[in-house]
Chain A
Amino acid sequence: MVEREHLPESPRENVGARRLGRAGFLGVVGAGVATLFFGSEISRVTSAVTKPFADATGLSRLVPSSGWRIYTVADTMPVFDRASWRLRIDGLVAHPLELSYDQLLALPKAEQVSTFHCVTGWIVDGVHWGGVRFADLLAAAGPLPGAHAAHFVSAEVPYDDYLALSSLKLPDVMLAYEMDGQPLVQEHGAPVRVVIPDMYGYKNVKWVERITLVAQQSAGYWEKLGYDVDAWVGGSNGYT
C-alpha cells in the first residue's frame, strides 16, 4: 500500500544520497568505447550463443545478428534471368567468349568452406561455397601473356573491382554460384559472385556479368573512395 510505506519516513530527507548518475553515465560510455576495440572478439562469443537459437527459430533469416548484412550501392538489386543471362570474358584473351548459366554449371565444380570478412567488422564463419576455379573458367578464353589482372564488372551499376591474376590462383578463390548448398540468391549476387576469403568482402564482387583481363589492377568502386586495392584481411584498410 502506498501510504503505509510513505508515512513512517520523513520523505524530504535524502538519506544516503550519493552522486552515482555521472559515474553510471561514464561507465556505460566507457564500456561502449571498449567495445569499439574488442567488438569482433565479443561478437564471436555472443554469436556462438545466439546463432543456434537464431537458426532454430528461423530468426537468422530475418536478423543478421550472427551472419550476413547486405550492402548495395545502386537503387535496386540486379534480377537474374536464367535464359538471357550471359557472362562475358574479354580483354587480353585469345578468344573472347560469352557463357550461359548452363555452360558455366558444366565447367568443373569446386567446393570450399571459408570465412567471409567484411571490412566493416562483421564476419561469417563456415560459409559453404560451390563454383568454378578461375583457372577452369579462363582456360577457354586463353589469357594473353600481357594480362596480369581481371576487371570484374557487376550488373549492379556502377560497382566493379579488380583482382591480380596471381590472387585468382590462390587456393580458396572461385566464381561461386552456390552458397550453403543452394543456388546463390539475389542479395548474395545471383547468379555468380567472386569469393576470395583472404580479402575483405568488397573485393568479392556480386552479380558479376563481365570479366575483362587487363594489364594491371586499377581502382574499383571502393578503391576510388579510399579503400586499399589489395584488401588482405587483417593487413589493409587500417587493420593490422
Chain B
Amino acid sequence: MATRELTGAEARPSRPRFIERFTFTERLMHWVHASAFFVLLASGLILYIPSFASAVGRRPLVKDIHFLTAVSWAGAMVLIALLGNRRALARTIREIDVFDRDDRRFLAGRVHAPQGRFNAGQKVNVIITAAFAVLFFVSGMLLWLSERNTSFHLGGTLYLHDALMYLSVIIVTGHLYLALINRSTRHALRGMTLGSVSEEWARAHHVKWVGAPSQPAGDGADALEMAPAGER
C-alpha cells in the first residue's frame, strides 16, 4: 500500500468509495427476470424431461405454473419499464446499443481493452437475453394457443423453445460463474444487489465509465490488487 502524503482534492478516503452503477429500476428488472427464469426453467424441465415428468406427475398443475409465471413475468417487466426510472433505462439501452473499437477488441479476446459501464460481453449478454426473452414468450404463447386453436401450429415452435432453453442454460451458467465465483468479476454482484460498486473496482474494469485513475502511480497498485493478471 502506498504511504506517501496526499493533499487537498487528491486525498484518498481511508475507506473505499462507492459509486452507483444500477438504479432500483434496473435492479428490479434484473431480479424479476432472474427469478422468473429459474421458476420457468424448473417447471419447464419437469414438463420436458421424461424421468422428471413421471417422478413429479401432476402435469396439468406444472403447466399452469409454467404458463402463469410466464404471463406474470411479461406483465411485470412491462410495468417496471413503464412505471420505473425510464430515463435510466433509456441511458442503459443507449450504452448497450453502442459498440466501439475497444468493445470489438474486448470481444476478440483482449479483455483488458478499456470498457464503459458495461463491458462488451455484458452488452452481448443483455442483447441475447432480451432477444431470447421475446422468442421464449412468442414460442411459448404459440404452444399455449395451439392447444386451443390448431391454426397456431407451426412446425418449429417446440424446437425453438427447447433450443432457447439449452442456449440460455449455457449463458446463465457463464453469467453465474462471473457473478458468483470468478474473483475479479464477482464484485459486480454488489452493483446488481445494492446498486453501487467500489470506485477502485470500477476503474479497473470500467475505466471509460469512471474515468482514468487520478494518480496512476499510486492507484495502480490497488487496481492490480483487485484485478490480478489473467483475471478471466
A97 at the interface (CB under 8 A from B): no
Query: Are A69 and B150 CB-contacts (below 8 A) given A15-B100, A35-B159, A36-B160?
Result: no
Cβ of B163: which chain A residues have Cβ within 8 Å of it? 35
The interface bits of chain A over 112-125 (1 if a CB of B lies within 8 angstroms of the residue's CB, else 0) are 00000001111000
Q: Tell whether, in the assembled complex, residue A35 and residue B99 are in contact, meaning their CB atoms are under 8 Å apart.
A: no
Q: Tell whether, in the assembled complex, residue A120 and residue B157 are in contact, meaning their CB atoms are under 8 Å apart.
A: yes
Q: Tell whether, in the assembled complex, residue A39 and residue B159 are in contact, meaning their CB atoms are under 8 Å apart.
A: yes
Q: Tell whether, in the assembled complex, residue A72 and residue B204 are in contact, meaning their CB atoms are under 8 Å apart.
A: no
Cβ of A76: which chain B residues have Cβ within 8 Å of it? 57-58
Q: Tell whether, in the assembled complex, residue B160 and residue A35 are in contact, meaning their CB atoms are under 8 Å apart.
A: yes
The interface bits of chain B over 155-175 (1 if a CB of A lies within 8 angstroms of the residue's CB, else 0) are 111111011101000000000
Q: Tell whether, in the assembled complex, residue A238 and residue B99 are in contact, meaning their CB atoms are under 8 Å apart.
A: no
A228 at the interface (CB under 8 A from B): yes
Q: Which B residues, 31 to 60, have Cβ-Cβ distances below 8 Å to chain A?
A: 48-51, 53-54, 57-60
Total A-B residue contacts, Cβ distance less than 8 Å: 191
Q: Tell whether, in the assembled complex, residue B229 and residue A7 are in contact, meaning their CB atoms are under 8 Å apart.
A: no
Residue on A nearest B99 in the bound complex, by CB: A20
A188–chain B nearest beta-carbon distance, Å: 9
Q: Which B residues, 126 to 176, have Cβ-Cβ distances below 8 Å to chain A?
A: 127-128, 130-132, 134-135, 138-139, 142-143, 146-160, 162-164, 166
B78 at the interface (CB under 8 A from A): no
> Residues of B within 8 Å of A, CB-based: how many?
69
Query: Are A12 and B208 CB-contacts (below 8 A) given A7-B216, A120-B146?
Result: yes
Kindly state the separation between the CA atoms of A111 and B139 in the bound complex, as whole angstroms. Answer: 37
Residue on B nearest A24 in the bound complex, by CB: B127
B123 at the interface (CB under 8 A from A): yes
B27 at the interface (CB under 8 A from A): no
Q: Tell whether, in the assembled complex, residue A18 and residue B99 are in contact, meaning their CB atoms are under 8 Å apart.
A: yes
Kindly state the separation between the CA atoms of A75 and B57 in the bound complex, as whole angstroms. Answer: 5
A62 at the interface (CB under 8 A from B): yes
Query: Are A77 and B54 CB-contacts (below 8 A) given A32-B135, A38-B155?
Result: yes
Closest 7 pairs between A and B when the two form their complex, measured CB to CB:
A39-B156, A39-B159, A21-B97, A28-B131, A16-B101, A32-B135, A40-B155
Not counting A17-B98, A38-B156, a sample of 7 additional A-B residue pairs whose C-beta atoms are within 8 angstroms of each other reads A5-B113, A17-B100, A21-B93, A43-B159, A61-B51, A62-B49, A72-B53
Binding site for B on A (CB under 8 A): 1-3, 5-7, 9, 11-12, 14-22, 24-25, 28-29, 32-33, 35-43, 61-65, 68-77, 119-122, 186-187, 225-228, 236-239
Between A and B, 27 residue pairs with Cβ closer than 8 Å are A6-B112, A6-B207, A7-B212, A11-B208, A14-B98, A16-B100, A16-B101, A17-B101, A18-B100, A19-B97, A28-B128, A32-B132, A32-B134, A32-B135, A36-B138, A37-B154, A43-B159, A63-B49, A69-B50, A70-B53, A75-B60, A76-B57, A77-B57, A121-B155, A187-B53, A226-B149, A238-B150
